[in-house]
Amino acid sequence: MHIGPTVDLRNYEKYYEKFKKDLGSEPRCMEFHIIESDLTPELKQKMKLVNEFLKDKNLAISFHCPDHPLNALTKARLENKNPDYAKLMLLADALKQIKQKKFLVVHQGFIADRDVIEAMPLDVLVRMKKAIKTIAAEELSIINKIFSNMTDLNTKSTADKLAKSQSDLAIGAEILLEQSPVFAGANKLVHITDQCFEDFSNRNFRMVMDISHIALLVHYFKQNKIAKSPTNKAKSDLAISATKQKEKLNWMEVLKKEYNGIPKSLQSIESYLQMAKEKTAWFHLSDANGIYVANEGLVIKDSKSTIDWNKIIKLIKDKEFGVLEILGCEKDYAKIQKSLKYLRMNNKELFTHENN
Ligand SMILES: [Zn+2]
C-alpha cells in the first residue's frame, strides 16, 4: 500500500515535503481536506495552484468534500439562491482546474438529532431508514452527474446521456463513499445510515474505508456482548467510557432489527474488510479506542487501541492507497509523523509497494 498524508489548502506544500522526508521517498497519495470556509470564489485560483503543484508528481489525490453543502442536494433545494447550492457549484467549478484523475470523498450518511432518534420506536426507524436509503441512491446519481465524467461507473444509459449533454460540467472526479461512525457533532448528533456495509448495497459506488470508523462501530456491538460475558479477555480494552458500556443506542440497535442480528460487516473489523475490500479504492488510517467522537481519528498506537493493526494490515497491504487521517493533524504534523513511524517500525510489509 502507498501511504500518504492528509493535508489542506494551506499546508499541502509543507506537509508534502515533511512527509517525503519521513517516508524516505516521494509520497504516492495524498488527501486534501476541503472545509466549508474554503468554498469561496478564490477556491478556483487555489485549485489552479494545486494543479501546478501536482504537475511533476506521480501522486494519486482525493478531495474530502465538506458535508454541509451536499445537503443542498439531499434536501432537494436546488434553487439558485440557496447558499449551499452556490457553494457546491463553487467546488464543482474549482475542481475542473485539477487536470488529473481525482477522487471526491463524500459522506452520504444521514445525520439527525440524537434526541429525536432516541425517542423513535425501532420499527418506525427501520421504515425511515429504508426511505432514506432510496433517496441516497437517487442523490448519488445526481452527485455523479455533477462531479464525474461517468466513465468509471456502471451507470444506467439515461444517466450516461445526461452526463454527455452536460459535458461542460464533467469534472472527472470519481465519487467515493465513506462509512459513517456512531456519532457526529459533539455526540449530540448521530449518523443513522451508512454504518454497516450492507447499508450501501443499493448504490453504485466504490468507497473509502475508514479503519477508525469501522472500529468504533464494531466496538459498540462488542461492548454489549462483553457486558454479558465478563470473563471475555477483551474486557481490558474497554477501560474507555466504562460507565457507558451498556448504553443502548437506538440507531445502532436498529441494525440488529434490520439485518436479523448484528450485520455481518460489523461483527469484526476483519469481516468488514473482507466484504468491502473489492469495492474499496482508498483507505483512511487512524486509531480508535471506544465509540464516541473523542475515541476516533487517533494517532496510531498512541492510546489504548481497539484495533489489532497486525491483523488489519495483512488484509489491506495489497490495496493501493491509504492516507493517515488523524484528527487535528492539520494543526499538528507530529500526529501524522508518529503514526507513520509506528507503522514503519511495526508493519514493514505495509510499505513494500513504496518503491514501485
Ligand atoms: Zn475518514
CA of 57 to the centre of ligand 1 (A): 24
CA of 94 to the centre of ligand 1 (A): 22
Q: What is the pLDDT of residue 70?
A: 67
Task: Name the stretches of the chain with pLDDT < 70.
Answer: 68-82, 149-170, 224-246, 353-356
CA of 77 to the centre of ligand 1 (A): 27
Q: What is the pLDDT of residue 150?
A: 40
> What distance in Å separates the CA atoms of residue 93 and residue 103, rounded to the nearest whole number?
15
Domain segments of the chain as ranges:
2-355
CA of 273 to the centre of ligand 1 (A): 15
Q: What is the pLDDT of residue 158?
A: 43
Q: Count Cβ atoms below 10 Å from residue 270 Cβ, excluding itself.
A: 15
Look at residues 43, 135, 49 and name the one whose alpha carbon lies nearest to residue 89.
Answer: 43
CA of 325 to the centre of ligand 1 (A): 6
CA of 107 to the centre of ligand 1 (A): 9
CA of 284 to the centre of ligand 1 (A): 5
CA of 9 to the centre of ligand 1 (A): 18
Torsion, CA 14, CA 318, CA 304, CA 6, rounded to 10: 20
CA of 85 to the centre of ligand 1 (A): 24
pTM over 0.85: yes
Dihedral pair phi/psi, residue 134, rounded to 5°: -65, -45
Q: What is the pLDDT of residue 223?
A: 81
CA of 210 to the centre of ligand 1 (A): 5
CA of 211 to the centre of ligand 1 (A): 8
Q: What is the pLDDT of residue 355?
A: 55
CA of 239 to the centre of ligand 1 (A): 24
Superfamily of structural domain 2-355? Divalent-metal-dependent TIM barrel enzymes (3.20.20.150)
Look at residues 59, 58, 106 and name the one whose alpha carbon lies nearest to residue 210.
Answer: 106
CA of 167 to the centre of ligand 1 (A): 30
CA of 115 to the centre of ligand 1 (A): 25
Centroid of chain to Cα 301: 20
Helix (H, G, I), strand (E, B) or coil at 152: coil
CA of 314 to the centre of ligand 1 (A): 20
Which element (helix H / strand E) includes 281? Answer: strand 280-285
Q: What is the pLDDT of residue 303?
A: 85
Q: What is the pLDDT of residue 7?
A: 98
Q: What is the pLDDT of residue 230?
A: 44
Q: What is the pLDDT of residue 162?
A: 42
Bridge partners, 6 (sequence order): 31
Q: What is the pLDDT of residue 69?
A: 65
CA of 178 to the centre of ligand 1 (A): 7
CA of 166 to the centre of ligand 1 (A): 31
